[in-house]
Chains A and B, each alone.
Chain A
């Protein structure tokens, strides 16, 4: 009776140690499963907005823990290939729009945010978000520094057909040029329309644009 009692105590104590000793970081597959469930449990969303939580192939590759520095060459190449294939041009074929329209869009961070289920509608379409992350016109203080300064962008590069196309592509899907860059794939994600992007191209390249003064 007495020995049984002691055995029981030893069993309980050792199993408690065993359980405590077992607690450790889960492996990646478990973490992924837990986390993905957390995402879909955490948000309330209309069926049409589920795609904002779903990851496409490129987003999955670009979500590496530790950041894009941990991308393999094959993964980077896949992201570039998918990005290149995503780029669509305006039906008119003209990639160079109106710099004045672009100048307005560059300073707008509005459009398509969701609060209490309502989608924010911005006048003139979604803002191009540029000012949040890039220095734009000379002497401005209220500009971000997440991305490189774009001051004098066209002055430095000219506005040859090749530069126009490069600039359009970069805005449409920045991952075609720099895989997993922090810059949103503004055209590929339908945040901006192809027409809006042509205005951004003109804002960056036109000699009359304040960005090149």
Chain B
């Protein structure tokens, strides 16, 4: 733990240094981020996720080895790259985080409310179980292409709902997703914004989560990203693992097909 914190702090300091150097030298803020992708502190969470995955846990004292992410029980290679998808056992389209929760509750007998309560960790903490597990499972797709297919009716429905919600404006800021993520080369203050209406933008989204968030010193999942967006949009509290989040993720990931998975991503 000490080692981890030390490494993250060093990495954070390096990021600030590289960011300020590159800003001064060539006004290109992406240079520091690119350097950190190559030596990403988030990698430290992969082993933690692996331990949690294979350890016998919960009231039923079993591991997650029987969890089916869509490729068959225990088959992890390429599984995260094909999520969200429809699952027979829950009769629902699930993304990575909601599928993990399904397995933790159904296989291991854990308490859903309890998992969700700690799903998004505090900044500078050791991270949550879901964050580590999501990263471990996704890392098993590294180097493989995103391949979210639409075949079940509920997958088609989720995709179309995601598209609808991407453009849906409400609240006192009148924001939908597209207000910040609809054009190339836009920034909110210094933060680059991904144009998610473009194929390269959707591919970046689909292939880089879970990601190490430099400012928080922990690994974050897509669920966290959506939470933080709606908070800034002045919407009420987004619950964890909702059909709303899964629909948006289906819309983005399907359009991000063929991107090569590389996690943990690195985010500011």
Nearest CB in chain A to that of B178: its residue? A67
Give Cα distance in the complex from A179 to B124, angstroms: 43
Give Cα distance in the complex from A38 to B160, angstroms: 12
CB atoms of A184 and B231 under 8 A apart: no
Tell me if B26 is interfacial: C-beta within 8 Å of chain A.
Answer: no
CB atoms of B244 and A39 under 8 A apart: yes
CB atoms of A38 and B236 under 8 A apart: no
The contact string, 1 if C-beta is below 8 Å from chain B, for chain A 140-151, is: 011111100000
The residues of A that contact B156 with a CB separation of less than 8 Å are 23-26
Q: Which of B98-106, B136-144, B182-190, B213-221 contacts A (4 or more CB under 8 A)?
A: B182-190
Tell me if B112 is interfacial: C-beta within 8 Å of chain A.
Answer: no
Nearest CB in chain B to that of A116: its residue? B237
Nearest CB in chain B to that of A131: its residue? B189
Tell me if B55 is interfacial: C-beta within 8 Å of chain A.
Answer: no
CB atoms of B165 and A39 under 8 A apart: yes
Interface residue count for A (Cβ, 8 Å)? 53
| CB of B29 to closest CB in A, whole Å | 9
B172, B180, B230: the one contacting A191 at CB < 8 Å is: B172
Give Cα distance in the complex from A18 to B66, angstroms: 32
CB atoms of A65 and B167 under 8 A apart: yes
B27, B161, B174, B188: the one contacting A133 at CB < 8 Å is: B188
Tell me if A62 is interfacial: C-beta within 8 Å of chain B.
Answer: yes
CB atoms of B161 and A117 under 8 A apart: no
CB atoms of A35 and B247 under 8 A apart: yes
B169, B171, B182, B242: the one contacting A63 at CB < 8 Å is: B169
Tell me if A66 is interfacial: C-beta within 8 Å of chain B.
Answer: yes
| CB of B28 to closest CB in A, whole Å | 12
CB atoms of A53 and B247 under 8 A apart: no
CB atoms of A63 and B247 under 8 A apart: no
B161, B180, B187, B237: the one contacting A45 at CB < 8 Å is: B237
28 intermolecular pairs with C-beta atoms under 8 Å apart = A23-B151, A25-B159, A26-B157, A26-B160, A30-B157, A31-B161, A34-B161, A35-B168, A38-B243, A39-B170, A42-B245, A43-B237, A45-B237, A53-B236, A63-B169, A64-B167, A66-B167, A114-B234, A114-B237, A116-B237, A117-B237, A132-B188, A133-B188, A144-B188, A145-B186, A145-B187, A184-B173, A184-B175
Residues of A with Cβ closer than 8 Å to B?
A: 20, 22-26, 30-32, 34-35, 38-39, 41-46, 49, 52-55, 59, 62-67, 112-117, 129, 131-133, 141-146, 182, 184-185, 189-191
- Please give 4 more A-B residue pairs, beta carbons under 8 A apart, in addition to A25-B156, A45-B236: A52-B234, A66-B167, A67-B182, A146-B179
